[in-house]
Structure 1
């Protein structure tokens, strides 16, 4: 298995969303995510793993506006909250204004997939839709809402007009038993983006379900990605892939079985400078 994973590390690709992010450049010691436009920290779901809720609890949720450098190649809408909770028309108008300011910058929209996406046709370059469950029952357990069918419908809809990513978080003890099925559902999109879980201690309900030891295991995560790659176009975060390849160059890769990552996040906040609001 280790030989297969070693070969796999040379072949696996990072998400298209990661292109232009500083995290894929090993010459940058303290990389930042590419710029984002934030609308709100509010969301119509209540996911067990949510970091936006933690930022709100600590009074650190970002104020609305543009964060990052003024010569962007890509802009994410948005990193906190559900952007479409402010209305699809407002998001569409903001994208139009961002293009007036920055030209043909790539627009990546992160959404929970529960809102209509029709106005994004011709505006979004990439749409990332979160999906962490393979059934209505599991979806309700993780998001505490019954909107699974809406998400599936909107994944299909987005896939008709732009590059669509189904993004899922690998949560051992919570959704690992159906990750293959989630990936199969996600195969209707252009890529399946699997990310490791970051745990915030304030998310007490999440800690009741996940196996922290397995969450911290890099080998378990890589094994899951490898197995999924046989059937779907699975991608991983570019910053993680960079670090894994650096590890493989400098150490015996078999040691990765024993390596644990710190899965506990600190205070979620944007590290980029706030510039303006539209």
Structure 2
């Protein structure tokens, strides 16, 4: 007996099959397929769905401190749980882009100009992204900085709402920062806004309109991650927790903002949404809750010790594999009690099975060269 498709079976019963369509679902799907990835997300591993363990762009952390106290902030949670990263570079050599920074307010640091210049010299091919709340950005400081992309956070369209969300009376200063970067067409300017239904629903299109009027290039609308330590503050502010997990509600608000500005949504989210059929996209929900933020990048910074050597830690280091590499290059070494030693010119390299590496007898640039030569994967 021939197996029939459902359409053939329906016709055999005298019924003409029809595909039910949800018009709103179709519009959401068309919107998602038309969206471009955020400029900040371009080059990020999270856009590759075949990558089982993607990490974000490298970052340079300056300080976990901040002059805002936002009701949703993951950085505050990290500080309270003792999980905020220490200052330094978290990433690898030859990055596509580097963010300054993911935690705290970078403009609070007196080293912001120095670090900016250092990153430009050390990674001349990398795109440098500044992520800031903007409240401390002035014309004078802006002239000293050299970034390719600037993301300024703004989650309210009025001074009163901004004060409620950030616990800081800095609305006018943030708007002025958007004006400063919006005028500078040598950089990509972005207003970064978090979708918090019940708190800033009506604000999002107004923020988009305001930013566009100031010359800002793009809005990056991000979904809210609800960390447990922030639940009570968000509840008090009026967050609609159910709608915060609705992909449909998130995309509808992005569609509203699109009338005023080039709106983009989180790149790793967009990559997934594009794979969904219209009805799934219409009804799907995302898990918005989390306990604590995770730094999804490894620190590989070389640090100078008090005796002039250079130290670094390498995750997953295998002494036997390193020994084989040295042997294949005909480089002599000794290995005893979980420690491998070898020389390269004036450099003496000591490698411990724990992953710690000491490089003695050379300067920082040579130490970095040796790291790339022997340890970078």
Quickly name the TM-score band, shorter chain normalised. over 0.9
User: Is the CA contact (8 Å cut-off) linking 1:40 and 1:64 kept in structure 2?
Assistant: yes
- 1:120 positional shift: 4.1
**Could you say which residue in structure 2 is the equivalent of 1:223?**
252
- d(CA) in 1 for partners of 2:294, 2:49: 23
- Per-residue CA deviation, residues 195-241 of structure 1 (Å, 9 max, x unaligned), is 11111110121122211000000111011112221232111111111
- Residue range with higher mean Cα deviation, 16-25 or 254-263: 254-263
- d(CA) in 2 for partners of 1:81, 1:177: 27
Q: Which runs of 4+ in 1 moved over 4 A?
A: none
- d(CA) in 2 for partners of 1:198, 1:53: 13
Distance 1:43 1:138, change over 3 A: same
**Could you say which residue in structure 1 is the equivalent of 2:97?**
74
SS in 1 for 2:52: coil
**Could you say which residue in structure 2 is the equivalent of 1:101?**
122
2:212 aligned with 1:212: no
- 1:67 positional shift: 0.3
2:45 aligned with 1:22: yes
Normalising by structure 2, report the TM-score.
0.70
More strand by share: 2
- d(CA) in 1 for partners of 2:63, 2:42: 25
**Could you say which residue in structure 2 is the equivalent of 1:244?**
273
- 1:117 positional shift: 4.6
- d(CA) in 2 for partners of 1:255, 1:24: 20
SS in 2 for 1:214: helix
2:177 aligned with 1:149: no
User: Is the CA contact (8 Å cut-off) linking 2:150 and 2:188 kept in structure 1?
Assistant: yes
User: Is the CA contact (8 Å cut-off) linking 1:64 and 1:277 kept in structure 2?
Assistant: no
- d(CA) in 1 for partners of 2:169, 2:257: 27
- d(CA) in 2 for partners of 1:267, 1:179: 26
- d(CA) in 1 for partners of 2:179, 2:264: 19
**Which residue, out of 210, 218, 232, partners 1:185?**
210
**RMSD, matched Cα:** 1.5
**Could you say which residue in structure 2 is the equivalent of 1:91?**
112
Normalising by structure 1, report the TM-score.
0.93
**Could you say which residue in structure 2 is the equivalent of 1:235?**
264
- 1:276 positional shift: 2.2
**Could you say which residue in structure 1 is the equivalent of 2:321?**
none
- Written as runs of structure 1 = structure 2, the 5 A alignment for 1:111-190 is 111-118=132-139, 119-121=141-143, 123-161=146-184, 162-187=187-212, 188=214, 189-190=216-217
User: Is the CA contact (8 Å cut-off) linking 1:117 and 1:158 kept in structure 2?
Assistant: no
User: Is the CA contact (8 Å cut-off) linking 1:65 and 1:277 kept in structure 2?
Assistant: no
- d(CA) in 2 for partners of 1:269, 1:61: 9
- Per-residue CA deviation, residues 141-199 of structure 1 (Å, 9 max, x unaligned), is 00011110000001110122221100100100110122111111121300011111111
- 1:18 positional shift: 0.4
User: Is the CA contact (8 Å cut-off) linking 1:139 and 1:145 kept in structure 2?
Assistant: yes
Gaps of 5+ in 1: none
User: Is the CA contact (8 Å cut-off) linking 2:155 and 2:203 kept in structure 1?
Assistant: no
- d(CA) in 2 for partners of 1:39, 1:116: 16
SS in 1 for 2:300: strand
User: Is the CA contact (8 Å cut-off) linking 1:194 and 1:234 kept in structure 2?
Assistant: yes
Q: Which has the larger radius of gyration?
A: 2
